[in-house]
A and B are shown apart, each in its own frame.
Chain A
Amino acid sequence: MSIFTNALSIAWKDLYSEWKTRQVLTTMIIFAGLVIVVCSFAFDPTNNTTKAVIPGAIWIIIVFSGILGLNRSFVSEQKNDNMHALLTAPLDAASIYLGKFLANFIMLLIVEIVAIPFLFLLFDFREMGSFPYFILVLFIGSFGFVAIGTFLAALAANSRSSEMLLPIMLFPLVSPILIGAVQATKIILTNIDKLPNAISWIQLIGGYNVIFFVLCVLLFEYVLEV
């Protein structure tokens, strides 16, 4: 049980220092806003194409602003050699992973809560097939993205050019989540009659999440070794 309490205290530490500095979260939200603006230039919002573009735009926002937060999550620990302090602390490696994961996940959820209504507003998108399912897809998709993202961020933090390395490792690996999440979001937002298809996509993402979450917890100690 102590793994979880340790994880919670690491997550709390991260979120508290984030609350004090508001550095990463502000950047993520501003960046999400900019992605929306870029999307509006790329896909004319006054056009009828909006319907087709919105599900993709949502996930572009999540992925790109998520990457910003993930990049910082372990690099920030290198200041004053915090990483070694974490490693020498009487903690299980898994609890460091879980704590970091939790902090990243909560930050990404906050970004989504701010950015997605903003996107709907600016693109004047009013229809919504099923709200609870929409939340479910967002939740489960972001879960998988952050789970594998936190793991790879820890891996990339070993390199001096971690900002460049992380997206290159992360994007190919999360492609199943992205495909599934975009398809499910599309069905849920615009074509609710096909809900069973969306549910099977959600199941695929769920399976992916379970496999990779377990794998990341198991392999995390190899990433942290000094």
Chain B
Amino acid sequence: MKTTLNLEQEPFTKLKDSLVHRVLVWATIISILTSFYLIFIYAPLETTMREVQKIFYIHVSSAWVAFLAFFVVFVLSIMYLVTRKRIYDIYAGISAEIGVVFTTIVMTTGPIWARSSWNTWWAWEPRLTTSLILWFIYLAYIMIRQMDGAWDKKARLSAVFGIIGFIDVPIVFMAIRWWQSKFHPIVFGDGPSQKGGGVEPEMLVALITMTISFTLLYVVLLQKGVYLEKAKITVENWKEKLREKLVG
């Protein structure tokens, strides 16, 4: 029981007492409402896809948050292996869970959009297939975390898998890109082979706002998740102490 937690030293503060958290929650609420205004009222309708194109804002910004979350897992995994502080492991685990949720959003909004723009629910196209494999990799990551045994073993193994899994992603993307590439247009800037579709400046504003608000949402969820996890560990420790008292 010696170094179970580095958290024990820091006082356990309730999350709603934390000013940073409250500011972040309000910032998230306001910015999400603003981005909904920008998406549905401010940004013009796309000429061919009409209203369906609105899903693009949510789709792209969820994808961004998912990649950010997995990148955070990668960095924290390395930091955990170097320092062995439990807090990094907790953050990595929560970040992976949020990443999987946002990847799921990407994978559900994607086919809805695809059905109306490409006339097919699914295509084995680089970005889609990579997202699918990414989703599977991080499901496996979460399964490692659910493994039986002591926390430090699980933390060590999931950190190793978090590193390997993240490094795999660009290779998967490259492999599938070679395999077949047809559908996704390169939207920003002119691609070497495909003509860039380009976006209206109003659309770009809406997209950037949505991305920022989803990133804020990610940070809020991360704080909440870590708070819950810490609370769980504290309760476990108290239970353990109580048990020792009853026995001894």
Judge whether A132 is part of the interface by a CB distance below 8 angstroms: no
User: In the complex, which residue of chain A has the Cβ closest to the Cβ of B163?
Assistant: A219
Judge whether A26 is part of the interface by a CB distance below 8 angstroms: no
Residues of chain B lying within 8 A (CB to CB) of residue A172: 133, 136-137, 140, 165, 168, 172
Judge whether B144 is part of the interface by a CB distance below 8 angstroms: yes
Judge whether B167 is part of the interface by a CB distance below 8 angstroms: yes
| CB <8 Å contact, B157 and A169 | no
Residues of chain B lying within 8 A (CB to CB) of residue A212: 164, 167-168
| CB <8 Å contact, A168 and B139 | yes
Judge whether B156 is part of the interface by a CB distance below 8 angstroms: yes
Contact partner, B176, options A179, A207, A216, A225, Cβ 8 Å: A179
Give CA–CA (A33, B143) in the complex, Å: 31
| CB <8 Å contact, A183 and B179 | yes
Judge whether B175 is part of the interface by a CB distance below 8 angstroms: yes
Interface mask (B135-154 → A, CB under 8 Å = 1, otherwise 0): 01101100110011100010
Give CA–CA (A215, B77) in the complex, Å: 14
Interface size class of A (residues with CB under 8 A): 20 to 34
| CB <8 Å contact, B81 and A204 | no
| CB <8 Å contact, A215 and B147 | no
Judge whether A134 is part of the interface by a CB distance below 8 angstroms: no
Judge whether A217 is part of the interface by a CB distance below 8 angstroms: no
| CB <8 Å contact, B164 and A219 | yes
Judge whether A99 is part of the interface by a CB distance below 8 angstroms: no
Judge whether B39 is part of the interface by a CB distance below 8 angstroms: no
Interface residues of A in 138-191 (CB under 8 A from B): 148, 151-152, 155, 158-160, 165, 168-169, 171-173, 175-176, 179-180, 183
Interface residues of B in 154-178 (CB under 8 A from A): 156-157, 159-161, 163-165, 167-168, 171-172, 174-176, 178
Judge whether A208 is part of the interface by a CB distance below 8 angstroms: yes
Judge whether A211 is part of the interface by a CB distance below 8 angstroms: yes
Residues of chain B lying within 8 A (CB to CB) of residue A168: 136, 139-140, 143
Q: A215 with B174: in contact, given A165-B147, A168-B140 (CB under 8 Å)?
A: no
Contact partner, B168, options A151, A173, A180, A222, Cβ 8 Å: A173
Interface mask (A5-43 → B, CB under 8 Å = 1, otherwise 0): 000000000000000000000000000000000000000
Interface mask (B42-73 → A, CB under 8 Å = 1, otherwise 0): 00000000000000000000000000000000
Give CA–CA (A110, B189) in the complex, Å: 51
| CB <8 Å contact, A208 and B161 | no
Q: Give A residues with C-beta under 8 Å from B.
A: 148, 151-152, 155, 158-160, 165, 168-169, 171-173, 175-176, 179-180, 183, 200-201, 204, 207-208, 211-212, 215-216, 219, 222-223, 225
Q: Give B residues with C-beta under 8 Å from A.
A: 81, 133, 136-137, 139-140, 143-144, 147-149, 153, 156-157, 159-161, 163-165, 167-168, 171-172, 174-176, 178-179
